[in-house]
Amino acid sequence: MAIRLYKPTSPGRRDGSVIDYKAELTTDTPEKTLCKRIKKHGGRNHHGKVTVRFRGGGARRIYRIIDFKRNKDDMQAKIVSIEYDPNRNCFISLVQYDDGEKRYILSPKGVKVGEVIESGALVEPKSGNAMPLSAIPVGVEVHNIEMNAGQGGKLVRSAGGVARLMAKEGNWATIVLPSGEMRMVRKECRATIGVLSNGDYQHVNIGKAGRKRHMGRKPHVRGKAMNPVAHPMGGGEGRSNGGRHPCSPTGVPAKGGKTRSPNNPNNKRIIRRRKNKRNGQLVL
């Protein structure tokens, strides 16, 4: 996948870049039967109160219904097209099963139009096939991993994402996530073989503030630049550094503060925490 640089026709365009979609995408028209309109709320709840800050505006989007469960077993599906999805940073593939049904799936890296993929415990462990972790060989790279069997993929769904199956013991499988976290998942849970597409997404330079507004993101205001009524780090005579550890408007720690609930039952399945940066060094 290639990144295309804009011509420096203006200061905003000078450092901007974009993914060269023509190199990989095969169509720009989505499947209408798998699309639905989504209403924007600007980060507000049903009372009209902003619960997620700095959201609003942006271009209209049509939601593509994605098959995260991959539960249509023992039936081959042919990849019809590889498409752009405005609701996620990886590409999606339109597949058509032998009975005529069409579904969208997260597109793995390297798959081509016309290839055949399958789901089930007895299929070949090749890129694009979905299998239970019990049937996947140890050491294979996977994505779109379920946390509960039949729930649909929850882990590793972003562009270029990949996890690795490290071990299987009893009813549990051990996987290493892109963050470096190592955790156990039930062997009945499904995962898809391969690396997700559009790995160069992380190297794109937005270039200007207006392009971020097109994505539905408003300017992010520093807490210490606000009044004390609006943020715990606001106010003070002259310029200040907040007078406390960084936090959100509701007091939730930020920039390295622990925010995971200690009572979450999923925590006991974590073998190794995700990696942290300390003095420029990765701490595992």
- Token digits of residue 252: 């939730």
Give the per-residue pLDDT at 29.
94
37 has pLDDT over 80: yes
CATH topology classification for 24-201: OB fold (Dihydrolipoamide Acetyltransferase, E2P) (2.40.50)
pTM strictly above 0.75? yes
Give the per-residue pLDDT at 235.
92
C-beta neighbour count of 4 within 10 angstroms:
13
Q: Band of the pLDDT at 12, cuts 50, 70, 90? A: confident
Length of the chain, please? 284
Q: What is 157-180 written as a DSSP string? A: -STT--EEEEEEETTEEEEE-TTS
Region 178-188: mean pLDDT is: 95
Q: How far apart are CA 69 and CA 131, in angstroms?
A: 11
Do 182 and 272 contact (CB within 8 A), yes or no? Answer: yes
- Token digits of residue 86: 């405005």
* Segment 66-105, tens digit of pLDDT: 999 999 998 999 999 999 999 999 999 999 999 999 999 9
Give the per-residue pLDDT at 262.
83
Higher pLDDT: 267 or 91? It is 91
Domain edges within the chain: 24-201
277 has pLDDT over 60: no
Q: Which of 134-138, 206-210, 249-253, 259-263 has the lowest mean pLDDT?
A: 259-263
Q: What is the chain written as a DSSP string? A: --EEEPP-SSTTTTT-EEE-GGGT---S---GGGEEE----TTB-TTS-BSSTTB------EEE-B--S----S--EEEEEEE--TTSSS-EEEEEETTS-EEEEEPBTT--TT-EE-BSTTS---TT-EEEGGGSPTT-EEESEESSTTS-EEES-STT--EEEEEEETTEEEEE-TTS-EEEEETTSEEEESPBS-GGGGG----SHHHHHHTTB-----GGGS-TTT-TT---SSS---SSS-B-TT--B-SS---S-TT-GGGGGEEEPPPEEETTEEE-
CA nearest to 233, candidates 219, 247, 220, 221? 247
* Segment 195-252, tens digit of pLDDT: 999 999 999 999 999 999 999 999 999 999 999 999 999 999 988 888 889 999 999 9
150 has pLDDT over 60: yes
Q: How far apart are CA 225 and CA 233, in angstroms?
A: 8
The residues, any chain, with a CB within 8 Å of residue 73's CB and separated by 6 or more, are: 119, 120, 121
Give the per-residue pLDDT at 267.
85
Give the per-residue pLDDT at 69.
96
Q: How far apart are CA 224 and CA 96, in angstroms?
A: 53
